[in-house]
Amino acid sequence: MTDTAEHRPIRSFHPRRGRMSARHHDAYAELWPLFGLDVVDGDRTPIDLPALFGAARPVVLEIGFGMGDLTAAMAAADPGRGYLGVEVHTPGIGNLLALVKEQGLTNVRVAHGDAMELVHRISPGALDAVHVFFPDPWPKARHHKRRLIRPDNVALLSARLRPGGVLHCATDWPHYAEAMAEVLAAEPGLRPAGIDRAGRPGTKFERRGTAQGRPIADLRFQRRG
């Protein structure tokens, strides 16, 4: 094994591009130069969040926003906070930017790339909240190391929260929910803050999972002061 392979980060996602519709492509072409941020592996240049959003405001990091419907809904209902969404699926990025345009949202910024690479560029204590909603459960035991909610990642996410800031996770895989709860409870920088949705709107994905008999688990942990 080469030195490069030994130090290659363990990805919590499958790289995905996919084909964008005309609507997505047009929104991407228009808004990406204004609201987009490319995440480059190994880049540790600090992100100036007030400059990114054009003003100082509390910021929520949305990791793996899928098609962006939930992010847009939460940002529209919460204009006082900035929403920084990060995703690897390009049609999802195009869809979120289309929603930003159609709804006239000014408090959303979109990053493309590895979420944890992005987190390394955010200053400690800079985030008001982190949302990890329905990440890939990587159900096979040999793939558990790829799960996003694991001790090293949780320690980093916790450090980026302000005192009192919330890390809110949700999953529809019971075994992953149990593993999440164990990892989150073991992080010394966090304390339990509830197991309710706490303002998280429901999604089509969630409703489909519920209809198929999959229980939805929400886990909220708060950064200790």
**Residues with a known catalytic role:** 136
Q: Is 203 annotated for ligand binding?
A: yes
User: Does 172 count as an annotated binding residue?
Assistant: yes
Task: Report residue 108 as tokens.
Answer: 């959303």
Residue 62 in marked binding region: yes
Query: Tokens 């919460």 map to which residue?
Result: 78
The reply, when asked if residue 78 is annotated as ligand binding, is no
Burial track 174-199 (b if 16+ CB lie within 10 A, e otherwise): eebbebbbebbeebebbeebeeeeee
196 is in an annotated binding site: no
Q: Is 53 within any annotated ligand binding site?
A: no
Distances (CA, A) of 184 to 8, 84, 103, 154: 25, 22, 35, 7
To the nearest 10°, report the CA torsion of 178, 179, 181, 187. Answer: 160
- How many angstroms separate the CA atoms of 214 and 77, rounded? 28
Q: Which of 198, 208, 211, 216 is nearest to 60 (CA)?
A: 198
Binding residues: 62, 87, 114, 136, 140, 172, 203-206
Binding residues for substrate: 140, 172, 203-206
Binding residues for S-adenosyl-L-methionine: 62, 87, 114, 136
